[in-house]
Structure 1
Amino acid sequence: MLGKCKQPEKAHSLFHMMIDEGCAVNTEAYTALLSAYGRSGIFDKAFSLLEEMKNTPSCRPDVFTYSILIKSCLQVYKFDEVQALLTDMASEGIKPNTITYNTLIDAYGKAKRFAEMESTLVQMLRQRECKPDVWTMNSALRAFGGSGQIGLMEKCYEKFQSSGIDPNIKTFNILLDSYGKTGNYEKMSAVMEYMQKYHFKWTLVTYNIIIDAFGRVGDLKQTEFLFRLMQSERIKPNCITLCSLVRAYGQAGKAEKIGGVLRFIENSDVTLDTVFFNCLVDAYGIMGCFTEMKGVLEMMERKGCKPDKVTYRTMIKAYSLGGMSSHAKEIQNVLASLEKIS
C-alpha cells in the first residue's frame, strides 16, 4: 500500500520494523519493498534489493519479483534494463509467466515497438505452460488498432479467437475505438450490433468511445441519442463524455447546445478537470464566441480549477484567428509569466 502511494521510504521503515519485531522476512516481503521503490522510479535501490535477494537463500527472487521490476522499468521506457532482467531471469533458471509476457506485449505495443511485441508473443506461444489469454489478445489488438493498422488488428483477432480465446467487454471497446478513430463506421456499427446480440452490457468506456466517434463526424442526432441512452441505463457521464459533446457542438457551431451541457453539469455531481475546460475554451474559440471563451476562466476559478499552458495557448490561437491581436498579446503575457514560474 505504501508503495502504491509512492511512499517507498515509509515502506522501507516498515520493512525494518518487521525485522526488529522478529517477523520472518521472506521473498514476498522483499518483493513488496522492491515494488515500492520501482513504482517511485528509484531503480538503484530496487536493483540493489534484487541483488540482496539473490544472495539470501531464504528470500530468493521469483517470477513475481522480476515481473514487478520489469513492469516498473517498462513504465518509464527503460527497455535496455528490461532485456537485462530477462537475461538475469534465464540465468537464475526462472521462466517468465503469462503476466510477464502480457506486461511486455502491452508495453511494446504502447511504445509502437511492434517487432519486439511480435517476438515476445512468439516466445510466449513456444512455452507450453504459458498460454496467451484475453489480456494478451487485448494488448495486441490495442497496439495494432491504436496505430491505425486495422488489417493486422483484424487478423490478430481472428487468430486469437480460433485458438479458443473469447473476447470480453474490453476487447470490443478496443475494436470500437480503433474503428471509430479510423472512420470505419460500418464495422463499428457491426461490433455494436454483435455486442447487443450476445448481451455484452455497454460500460461507460463503451458509451464514451461511441459518443466521441459520432460527435467527430458531426452526427449530433446519434450523439444525443446515445447520451440519453446511457443515462436511461443509469450510467453516469464523466468528463470524457462531456468533452466529446462540447467538441461535437463546437464543430457544428451550436453554442446553445453547449449551454445545455453546462446546465446539465450544474445539476449533476460530475467533477470537472482542466481538460474539460480546455475543450470548452477550444469549442467557443472555434465558433468565435470570445465573450463566452473568456468567461470560461471565471468558471474555472469558481470550480477551483487552474488554467494551464494549453488553456492559454488555445485562447491565443482563437484570438489570433479572429483578428484580435491585442487580446492575443494580453494572453501571451499571462502565458509568459506562467512559463517563468514553472
Structure 2
Amino acid sequence: MVSLPGPAVNPFRPDFNGFSENKKPTGATNVNPVREESFPTDDEKVRRERKEQVNKKIASQKAISVILRREATKAVIEKKKGSTRLFPGTVLEALHERIAALRWESALKVFELLREQLWYRPNSAIYVKLIVMLGKCKQPERANSLFQAMIDEGCDVNQESYTALLSAYSRSGLFRKAFSILEEMKNTPNCHPDVYTYSILIKSCLHFHEFDKVQSLLSEMVSQGVNPNTVTYNTLIDAYGKAKRFADMESTLVEMLRQRECKPDVWTMNSTLRAFGGSGQIETMEKCYDKFLSAGIQPNIKTFNILLDSYGKTGNYKKMSAVMEYMQKYHFSWTLVTYNIVIDAFGRAGDVNQMEFLFRLMQSESIKPNCVTLCSLVRGYAQNGKAEKIGGLLRYIESSDVMVDTVFFNCLVDAYGMMGCLAEMKGVLVMMESKGCEPDKITYRTMIKAYNMNGMSNHVKELRLMLSSVGKSDSRR
C-alpha cells in the first residue's frame, strides 16, 4: 500500500520498526518524484529568501490596509445609521463581509440601510446571496420574506433564486415546503429545476436520512430529462458510505461508471475509501484504491489522510508508516489533519515518545495544534497512565493561544477518571469555569461513571442533580 507525505524530516525514530520496504505502490507511476539534482543552490536560496521577505512585507501592508478599511467602514455604518447618503462601496463591503461571516442579523440590518440609500436599485444577485446565507443559518422563513420582497421590488425571479429558497427550506429539513417549491419551479417559465437544484435537494434528504425521497428524486430527474452529474453521484456515494449503506454506495458507483459524461474523480475516490476504511474493511479499501489509480485518478493529501486514519484505527501501523514514507518521498506536505491522525494513532499504540516527537515536529513546522490534537495527546497519556504529562500539557495550553472547548474538557475528565485521579477530575470543572465553558451532559455522565467505579455514591447523587438541571435548560432552549 501507499505511504503518506510528511515533512522533509523523517518522522520516525531510528528504532521504530514500522517501516515497510521503500517500494513504489501499484498505480503510482503518474506521480512525479522530485529529483535530487533539482534542489536549489545556495545563491538561489538566498535570492528566494529575500524575495519571500519582500513578499511578506507587501502582504503585511495589504493586510493592515484591509483591516483599517474594514474598521473605518464599521465606524461609518454605526455612526450614520439612517443616513441616505453613504457611499455604495462602504455599504456593499459591509454587507458582503457580514454575508461571508454568516452574521445574518447584522447583514439584514446593513441591507435595510442599503435599501434606504438614494442610489439604491433592486439587485436580484444581492437578494440571492442573502437568501443562501439565511438558508445556511437555518432561517428559512426570513429567506422566504426576502424572496417575496425581491418579487415586490420587480427583480427577475429565475432558477437560481428559486433554488436558493428551496435550499433554505431543505437545509432545515422542511421538505414539504421544499418539494412544493420544486413543483412551483416546474410550472414557472424559465425557472425549471436543473441538476444543481436536484443535487441540493438530494443532499439535504441524505443529510436527514430521507433515503426514500432520494430515490424518488432520482427517478424524477430522469423523467424530467435532467441527468445527474459527477457532483450528484459523489454526494450520493459519500452519504451512503457515511450511513454504512454499502450496497447502495456500490450500486451508485456502478451507475456512475455507466454514464459516459460522469467520470469518477478524486472526490469519488476519497468518499469510497473513507467508507470502507472507516468501517474497518481494509482489504476492500485497498482494492478500491488500486482500481482508482489504474483508472488514472491521482490521490491528494485527503486521500492519504484517509488511508492513515484507516490504518491507524485498525492497528495496521506498518502500512500506516508505509503511507507516511510515500508522502515524504513524493513531497506531500503534512497538514494539521495529518498530524492529528498520526499523533492519535501512536497514542493508541502506546508509543508516548513517538507521539510527543510528532507533536514537537508539528510545532517546528509552524502548524498550530487544535482541540483535536490536544484530545489525542490527553487520551494517549491517559492510556499509558501518564497523569504528570497531562499536567505539563495543561501548562502548555495556559502559555499558548490555543482555544479549548467543552469537548476538550470532557476528554480531560474522561482521562482523569480512567486513571483514578478523582481530585484532578473534579478540578476540571473549575478550569472549565475559568475558560467560560459550561459542563454538558457528557461531562456529568463521565464523572458519574468514574465515581461509580470507585464506590463514591455521595458524589454520584450530587452529579445526578446537576445532570437533570442540564436537561431542563436544554429543553427550555
Pick the aligned partner of 1:120 from 248, 252, 256: 252
C-alpha distance in 1 between matches for 2:197 and 2:463:
50
Shift of 1:3: 1.3
1:255 aligns with 2:387: yes
Pick the aligned partner of 1:195 from 295, 315, 327: 327
Moved more, 234-243 or 309-318: 309-318
Question: Rg: which structure is higher?
Answer: 2
C-alpha distance in 1 between matches for 2:146 and 2:225:
31
Amino acid at match of 1:41: G
1:28 aligns with 2:156: no
Pick the aligned partner of 2:143 from 11, 20, 31: 11
Structure 1 residue aligned with 2:174? 42
Q: Structure 2 vs 1, CA of residues 340 and 35 (structure 1 numbering), >3 Å: closer, same or farther? A: closer
C-alpha distance in 1 between matches for 2:254 and 2:347:
39
Encode CA deviations 1:172-224: one digit per residue, 9 max, x unaligned: 00000000000000000000000111111111111000000000111000000
TM value normalised by structure 1: 0.98
C-alpha distance in 2 between matches for 1:22 and 1:54:
21
Encode CA deviations 1:155-181: one digit per residue, 9 max, x unaligned: 000000000000000000000000000
Shift of 1:251: 1.5
Amino acid at match of 1:60: H
Shift of 1:332: 2.4
Encode CA deviations 1:11-35: one digit per residue, 9 max, x unaligned: 2122222222221111111111111
TM value normalised by structure 2: 0.70
Structure 1 residue aligned with 2:350? 218
SS at match of 1:176: helix
Encode CA deviations 1:36-82: one digit per residue, 9 max, x unaligned: 11111111111000000011121000000000000011000000000
Shift of 1:269: 1.8
Structure 1 residue aligned with 2:128? none
C-alpha distance in 2 between matches for 1:338 and 1:45:
34
Shift of 1:7: 1.6
Structure 1 residue aligned with 2:304? 172
C-alpha distance in 2 between matches for 1:264 and 1:63:
50
The alignment's C-alpha RMSD in Å is 1.1
C-alpha distance in 1 between matches for 2:470 and 2:181:
41
C-alpha distance in 1 between matches for 2:402 and 2:205:
35
Shift of 1:295: 0.5
C-alpha distance in 2 between matches for 1:279 and 1:2:
34
1:338 aligns with 2:470: yes
Pick the aligned partner of 1:98 from 206, 212, 230: 230
C-alpha distance in 1 between matches for 2:140 and 2:457:
50
1:2 aligns with 2:134: yes
C-alpha distance in 2 between matches for 1:20 and 1:313:
53
Pick the aligned partner of 1:284 from 402, 405, 416: 416
Shift of 1:329: 2.7
Amino acid at match of 1:25: V
C-alpha distance in 1 between matches for 2:462 and 2:158:
61
Amino acid at match of 2:327: M
Amino acid at match of 1:200: F
SS at match of 1:102: helix
* Structure of higher RCO (CA pairs closer than 8 Å, 6+ residues apart): 2
Shift of 1:340: 4.5
Shift of 1:282: 1.0
C-alpha distance in 2 between matches for 1:306 and 1:333:
16
Q: Structure 2 vs 1, CA of residues 155 and 268 (structure 1 numbering), >3 Å: closer, same or farther? A: same
Moved more, 2-11 or 82-91: 2-11
1:149 aligns with 2:281: yes
Structure 1 stretches of 4+ moved >4 Å: none
Moved more, 102-111 or 258-267: 258-267
What are the equivalent positions in structure 2 for 1:40-119 lying under 5 Å apart?
A: 40-119=172-251
Moved more, 19-28 or 109-118: 19-28
Encode CA deviations 1:99-151: one digit per residue, 9 max, x unaligned: 00000000000000000000000000000011000000000000000000000
- Structure 1 portions without partners, runs of 5+: none
C-alpha distance in 2 between matches for 1:275 and 1:88:
43
SS at match of 2:201: helix
C-alpha distance in 2 between matches for 1:37 and 1:320:
45
Amino acid at match of 1:66: Y
C-alpha distance in 1 between matches for 2:258 and 2:384:
52
Shift of 1:339: 3.3
Seq. identity, %: 79
1:323 aligns with 2:446: no
Moved more, 328-337 or 252-261: 328-337
Shift of 1:338: 3.1
Amino acid at match of 2:149: M
Pick the aligned partner of 2:366 from 215, 234, 243: 234
C-alpha distance in 2 between matches for 1:335 and 1:57:
56
Structure 1 residue aligned with 2:270? 138
